[in-house]
């Protein structure tokens, strides 16, 4: 991230913290006349219709989290299906090549057999006795022996080629079965994603405009509270890593996508899901990484939070169902969830599982 963006992010955080301190109870202000102590009024969690907005917020979080888990399963099945399809294509090529080779070997073996048949007839000792030139006959017999050995070699190679073809066919059948299983896994995950998103949208549709506004405020407050707690631990003072050259490119790509909509299963260029954004950002930096947040967590090298640098990926929740890119100054860029756009927020606004480094 550029110094200008970092300054803006830092300034925004400092301003937010200052506002929180100034509005907190118990802060003394110089005043000519004593003023009565005032406690800030918290955002109401219930609507006039009696809806518990905090409970609705938590329910929405759970629904979208379930959708994120299903999205990771969908993306994993999609990647495996692509790999299996490619392997099936490679096996098909090998089968074609093997069949061509077998046909050629059969032709050569047939030609050798016909040549031997034409040279057959009388027993070898009779042909030697009748021959005008015994040495010439012996030379010819040597060539026949060589031909017989060559024929045996051809037959052995034909047997090996046939065995290879059987193995290729067996492997292709196994890959087809895996491909079909992953297609079914994709379909199941797709249904689950749509089910969870539909439930969340139905819940949100039951809210009035003012309730939606209060709900949005509650979401902001929850994220701010989590970020403040994270910063209060002093962790930001320990983080001083500088981005690598590839990391800078990845950060630039990711931040250039700000404002684009979240879409499950999307890898750009018009929309992204969380791991679609991070995987494409690192691909743009010239370093391929796994497609899903869970595989990014499983396969990429882990680093301590205090050692992270811009470009590193922060994995969230115990099931590694969300991922974001650290951009410095305690901030991340990520694709949050359906209905939202790629945005910058606090790195501690969600429960951190750990940090991975693509270009370790």
Active site residue 19: no
Annotated catalytic residue: which of 19, 65, 274, 287?
Answer: 274
- With contact defined as beta carbons under 8 Å apart, do 347 and 273 qualify? no
For residues 187 and 201, what is the distance between their CA atoms, to the nearest angstrom? 21
For 41, which DSSP code? P
Active site residue 322: yes
For 351, which DSSP code? -
Active site residue 334: yes
Residue 204, token pair as written in the block = 């949100």
Annotated catalytic residue: which of 29, 65, 302, 334?
Answer: 334
Contacts of range 186-190, beta carbons closer than 8 Å, 24 or more positions apart: 186/74, 186/77, 186/78, 186/81, 188/73, 189/70, 189/71, 189/73, 189/74, 189/77, 190/70, 190/74
| 67: nearest Cα among 317, 321, 262 | 321
Residues for the chain: how many in total?
Answer: 360
| Positions marked active-site | 274, 322, 334
């Amino acid at each position: 991230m550029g110094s200008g963006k970092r300054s803006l992010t830092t300034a925004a955080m400092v301003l937010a913290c200052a506002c929180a301190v100034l509005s907190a109870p118990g802060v003394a202000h110089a005043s000519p006349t004593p003023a009565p102590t005032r406690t800030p009024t918290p955002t109401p969690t219930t609507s006039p219709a009696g809806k518990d907005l905090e409970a609705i917020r938590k329910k929405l979080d759970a629904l979208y989290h379930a959708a994120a888990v299903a999205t990771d399963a969908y993306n994993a099945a999609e990647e495996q299906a692509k790999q299996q399809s490619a392997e099936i294509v490679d096996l098909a090529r090998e089968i074609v090549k093997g069949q061509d080779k077998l046909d050629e070997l059969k032709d050569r073996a047939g030609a050798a057999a016909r040549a031997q048949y034409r040279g057959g007839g009388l027993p070898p000792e009779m042909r030697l006795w009748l021959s005008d030139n015994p040495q010439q006959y012996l030379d010819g017999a040597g060539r026949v022996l060589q031909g017989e050995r060559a024929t045996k070699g051809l037959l052995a190679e034909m047997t090996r080629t046939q065995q290879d073809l059987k193995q290729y066919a067996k492997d292709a059948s196994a890959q087809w079965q895996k491909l079909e299983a992953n297609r079914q896994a994709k379909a199941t995950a797709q249904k689950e994603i749509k089910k969870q998103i539909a439930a969340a949208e139905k819940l949100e549709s039951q809210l009035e405009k003012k309730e939606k506004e209060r709900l949005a405020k509650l979401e902001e407050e929850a994220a701010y509270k989590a970020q403040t707690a994270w910063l209060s631990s002093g962790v930001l003072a320990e983080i001083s890593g500088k981005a690598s050259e590839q990391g800078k490119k990845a950060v630039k790509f990711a931040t250039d996508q700000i404002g684009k909509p979240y879409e499950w299963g999307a890898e750009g260029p018009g929309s992204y899901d969380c791991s679609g954004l991070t995987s494409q950002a690192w691909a743009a930096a010239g370093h391929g990484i796994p497609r899903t947040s869970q595989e990014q967590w499983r396969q990429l090298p882990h680093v301590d939070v205090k050692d992270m640098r811009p470009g590193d990926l922060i994995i969230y929740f115990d099931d590694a169902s969300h991922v974001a890119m650290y951009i410095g100054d305690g901030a991340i860029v990520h694709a949050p969830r359906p209905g939202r756009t790629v945005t910058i927020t606090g790195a501690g606004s969600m429960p951190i599982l750990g940090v991975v480094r693509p270009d370790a």
